[in-house]
């Protein structure tokens, strides 16, 4: 059967996974009576809850006499490492662009990577049925983007389709016809995307690992594209690291080929096909799986460096071990190293004290997803505030990561966004209307200034703004930023919080816990209205006497506490605070629980 390998790449929420659903259903991958889940490729629990794609995944559809292997990719810049890895598996790409929003930062990022490896993309302008669609302007913006990214003459001659992924149709004209469904897209993929290069079919087997996952029955499963040769079950192979060192030798126990949403065992696979293999215990992403006679590894795509780091600390609070069963540094280390094997955009370093680990990634979202996954597995950890990774320039100057930030906002709120961004040392590079009474503001802002800004932006614009970020470059350090302007309320004792005490503390600031919550000395229980931290007693109950009160006691009504989600807590805390993450609870605490120790460290840091 003829083969085509394509990736569907786009900015977040431009409709990649929904389009894959329709491609699967219209190609006959489902039975007529089979129940179809929405966004079937988003199989991970966190992907379903957040409504985003986190992991790149492969599937395949059959169209006429051609099998099309499709790789669905994440749209968030934080998961850009997933996109960079899979581009060496495919021969073509469908760039999906929203007919109203147009090309966004992540579109620019993935398109730049696709053009660099020589792919000739197909442009699909999606959501053409939106009331505020502006397909002609969007097409011009896409062409300008191709030119700005140094596309070749051949790449600039890209085919364009218009349609609606949700509606399940694509056509050469914005008005349709709609009755052919996605047939024009299938036909264009077959016609425009080149067949995989099978010239090396008779050479020894070589494949580079691209996606790693664990299976309880088969062990490690590595997905990749066979670059040369062919493989059969029980065939001896070896694994070479990027520098040519031998990692292991072994035999392939299973070869799995993609058939719709299923993976089917096959007895043979050859150059050009995308398959998953099992049977090796050490080989991982970016390693070369090859015939024993091969000595030269394949060259893996270079991955952009991480820009943000956090400390993962063994939970040492008085409540440690009461909710989770994975609390020791050895278990946490093994889990983090296992994660870094499959996620090449993550970097793990062990601290000198052996009780904490520096985990570096592309952004807070990527690290928050890892933390959320670990807490669901039963881990208890303390997490520090995200810090940006600085670099040193040629002249010894300090360089910091700068991001390109695109904010779409209603005109009435544009002023406050510009003001807040300038406070965070951002420079505005573009301001233009984006249709429907909205404006698009483009900034170049330091990454550290953006930590925690998302929730503030939502409050300032009453939830109407959409912010997108993408790493731009390293630039000279822009100086100190103003930090959080409020202190915290800290519990001065251990026990259970009492409603009576909390009611009388409400004047001091809003609470982040409810009454009846277990607290300990040094735990943050509220936000102080002033700049300093304040130690308070939340355990104090009402004095009971045998004297009757002349007036009837009123029931205490507490103001509902501020809900601290994981993402919000990570962006809100300061350098001397931690987020304590357990399977059931997210608590905020001071790094040093003892008040005397806190004073000593604050004095020494001021002196430094």
pLDDT in tens, 455-480: 788 888 888 888 888 888 888 988 88
Task: Respond yes or no on whether the N-terminal peptide bond of residue 108 is cis (omega within 30° of 0).
Answer: no
Q: What is the pLDDT of residue 40?
A: 47
Both structure tokens of 59:
């599937």
536, β-bridge pairs: 491
Give the residue with greater pLDDT, 254 vs 197.
Answer: 254
Q: What is the pLDDT of residue 33?
A: 43
Q: What is the mean pLDDT of residues 373-402?
A: 89
Pairing of strands 66-72, 57-63: antiparallel
Residue-wise pLDDT for 140-166, tens only, equals 999 998 998 888 888 889 999 998 888
SS3 205: coil
Both structure tokens of 433:
């209307």
Distance CA 403, CA 475 (A): 10
62 closest CA partner among 271, 262, 266, 268: 262
65 is in an annotated binding site: no
Contact status, residue 589 vs residue 313, Cβ threshold 8 Å: no
Is the whole model's pTM more than 0.85, yes or no? no
Q: What is the pLDDT of residue 314?
A: 92
Contact status, residue 276 vs residue 223, Cβ threshold 8 Å: yes
Phi, psi angle pair for 335, to nearest 5°: -65, -40
Mean pLDDT of the chain: 84
126, β-bridge pairs: 98
Q: What ranges do the domains of the chain cover? A: 2-192, 199-290, 391-476
E-assigned strand segments in 45-121: 57-63, 66-72, 92-98
Residue-wise pLDDT for 300-312, tens only, equals 777 777 888 999 9
Contact status, residue 183 vs residue 210, Cβ threshold 8 Å: no
Q: What is the pLDDT of residue 48?
A: 59
Res. 362: pLDDT tops 50: yes
Give the residue with greater pLDDT, 105 vs 384.
Answer: 384
222, β-bridge pairs: 212, 277
Q: What is the pLDDT of residue 47?
A: 58
Residue identified by tokens 């409504």 is 51
Helix (H) or strand (E) holding 148: helix 135-148
Q: What is the pLDDT of residue 255?
A: 92
Distance CA 548, CA 550 (A): 6
8, β-bridge pairs: 72, 94
Q: What is the pLDDT of residue 76?
A: 65
15 is in an annotated binding site: yes
Crossing angle of helices 105-116/135-148, nearest 10°?
50
Res. 35: pLDDT tops 50: no
Both structure tokens of 71:
């790789």
Who's near 206: CB < 8 A, 6+ residues apart? 200, 226, 227, 228, 229, 288, 289, 290, 291, 294, 298
Give 358's pLDDT tier (boundaries 50, 70, 90): very high
413 is in an annotated binding site: no
Q: What is the mean pLDDT of residues 79-106?
A: 81
Distance CA 90, CA 97 (A): 20
142 is in an annotated binding site: no
Distance CA 382, CA 316 (A): 8
SS3 416: helix
Distance CA 428, CA 15 (A): 29
Q: What is the mean pLDDT of residues 162-181?
A: 86
Phi, psi angle pair for 438, to nearest 5°: -115, 160
Distance CA 179, CA 16 (A): 21
Distance CA 591, CA 602 (A): 11
Residue-wise pLDDT for 410-435, tens only, equals 889 889 999 989 988 899 998 888 77
For 209-277, the three-class secondary structure string (H helix, E strand, C coil) is EEEEEEECCCEEEEEEEEEECEECCCCEEEEECCCCCEEEEEECCEEEEEEECEEEECCCEECCCEEEE
128 is in an annotated binding site: yes
Dihedral angle, C-alpha 243, 389, 424, 107, nearest 10 °? 20
Return the CATH fold of 391-476.
Alpha-Beta Plaits (3.30.70)
DSSP state of 32: T
16 is in an annotated binding site: yes
Residue identified by tokens 């309320």 is 489
Residue identified by tokens 């992907």 is 47
472 closest CA partner among 55, 106, 115: 106
Residue identified by tokens 């149709």 is 169
545 is in an annotated binding site: no
Within 10 angstroms of residue 496's Cβ, the number of other Cβ atoms is 11
DSSP string, 381-393: EEEPPPEE--EE-
Helix (H) or strand (E) holding 335: helix 329-342
Contact status, residue 19 vs residue 71, Cβ threshold 8 Å: no
Give, in words, the CATH class of 2-192: alpha beta
Distance CA 79, CA 363 (A): 9
343 is in an annotated binding site: no
Contact status, residue 289 vs residue 207, Cβ threshold 8 Å: yes
Q: What is the pLDDT of residue 545?
A: 67
E-assigned strand segments in 447-604: 466-476, 488-491, 495-496, 518-519, 523-527, 534-536, 577-581, 586-590
Contact status, residue 544 vs residue 564, Cβ threshold 8 Å: no
CATH for 199-290, among 2.40.30.10, 3.40.50.620, 3.90.1150.10, 3.50.50.60?
2.40.30.10
Distance CA 98, CA 126 (A): 5
Pairing of strands 236-240, 246-251: antiparallel
Lowest mean pLDDT among 79-83, 360-364, 436-440: 79-83
């Amino acid at each position: 059967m003829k083969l085509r390998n394509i990736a569907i790449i786009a900015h977040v929420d431009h409709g990649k996974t929904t389009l894959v659903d329709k491609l699967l259903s219209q190609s006959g991958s489902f039975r007529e009576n089979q129940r179809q889940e929405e966004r079937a490729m988003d199989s991970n629990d966190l992907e379903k809850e957040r409504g985003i794609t986190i992991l790149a995944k492969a599937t395949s559809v059959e169209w006429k006499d051609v099998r099309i292997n499709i790789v669905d990719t994440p749209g968030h810049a934080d998961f850009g490492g997933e996109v960079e890895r899979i581009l060496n598996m495919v021969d073509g790409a469908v760039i999906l662009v929203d007919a109203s929003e147009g090309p966004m930062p992540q579109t620019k990022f993935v398109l730049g990577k696709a053009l660099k490896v020589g792919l000739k993309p197909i442009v699909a302008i999606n959501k053409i049925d939106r009331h505020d669609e502006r397909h002609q302007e969007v097409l011009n913006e896409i062409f300008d983007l191709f030119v700005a990214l140094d596309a070749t003459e051949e790449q600039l001659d890209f085919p364009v389709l218009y349609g609606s992924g949700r509606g399940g149709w694509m056509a050469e004209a914005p008005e349709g016809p709609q009755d052919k469904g996605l047939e024009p897209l299938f036909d264009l993929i077959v016609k425009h995307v080149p067949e995989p290069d099978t010239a090396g079919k008779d050479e020894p087997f070589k494949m580079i690992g691209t996606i790693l996952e664990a299976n309880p029955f088969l062990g490690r499963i590595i997905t990749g594209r066979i670059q040369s040769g062919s493989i059969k079950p029980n065939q001896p192979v070896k694994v070479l690291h990027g520098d040519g060192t031998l990692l292991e030798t072994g035999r392939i126990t299973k070869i799995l080929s993609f058939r719709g949403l299923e993976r089917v065992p096959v007895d043979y696979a050859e150059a050009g096909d995308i398959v998953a293999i099992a049977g090796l215990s050490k080989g991982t992403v970016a390693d070369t799986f090859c015939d024993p006679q091969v000595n030269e590894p394949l060259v893996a795509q270079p991955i952009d460096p991480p820009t943000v780091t956090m400390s993962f600390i063994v939970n040492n609070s008085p409540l440690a071990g009461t909710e989770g069963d994975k609390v020791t540094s050895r278990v946490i280390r093994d889990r983090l190293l296992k994660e870094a094997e499959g996620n090449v955009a993550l970097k793990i370093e062990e601290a000198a004290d052996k009780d904490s680990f520096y985990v570096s990634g592309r952004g807070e979202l990527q690290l928050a997803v890892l933390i959320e996954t670990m807490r669901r597995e039963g881990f208890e950890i303390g997490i520090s505030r995200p810090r940006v990774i600085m670099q040193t320039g040629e002249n010894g100057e300090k360089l910091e990561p700068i991001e390109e930030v695109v904010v779409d906002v209603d005109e009435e709120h544009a002023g406050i966004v510009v003001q807040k961004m300038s406070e965070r040392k951002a420079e505005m590079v573009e301001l233009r209307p984006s249709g429907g009474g909205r404006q698009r503001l483009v900034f170049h802002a330091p990454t550290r200034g953006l930590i925690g800004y998302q929730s503030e932006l939502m409050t300032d614009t009453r939830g109407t703004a959409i912010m997108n970020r993408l790493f731009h470059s390293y630039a000279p350090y822009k100086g100190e930023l103003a930090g959080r302007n409020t202190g915290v309320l800290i519990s001065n004792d251990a026990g259970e919080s009492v409603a009576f005490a909390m009611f009388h503390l409400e004047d001091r600031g809003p609470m982040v816990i409810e009454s009846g919550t277990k607290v300990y000395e040094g735990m943050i229980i509220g936000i102080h209205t002033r700049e300093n931290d304040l130690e308070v007693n939340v355990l104090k109950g009402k004095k009971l006497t045998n004297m009757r009160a002349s007036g009837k006691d009123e029931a205490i009504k507490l103001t509902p506490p501020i809900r601290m989600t994981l993402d919000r807590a990570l962006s809100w805390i300061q350098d001397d605070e931690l987020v304590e993450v357990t399977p059931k609870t997210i608590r905020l605490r001071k790094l040093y629980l003892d008040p005397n120790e806190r004073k000593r460290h604050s004095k020494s840091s001021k002196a430094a």
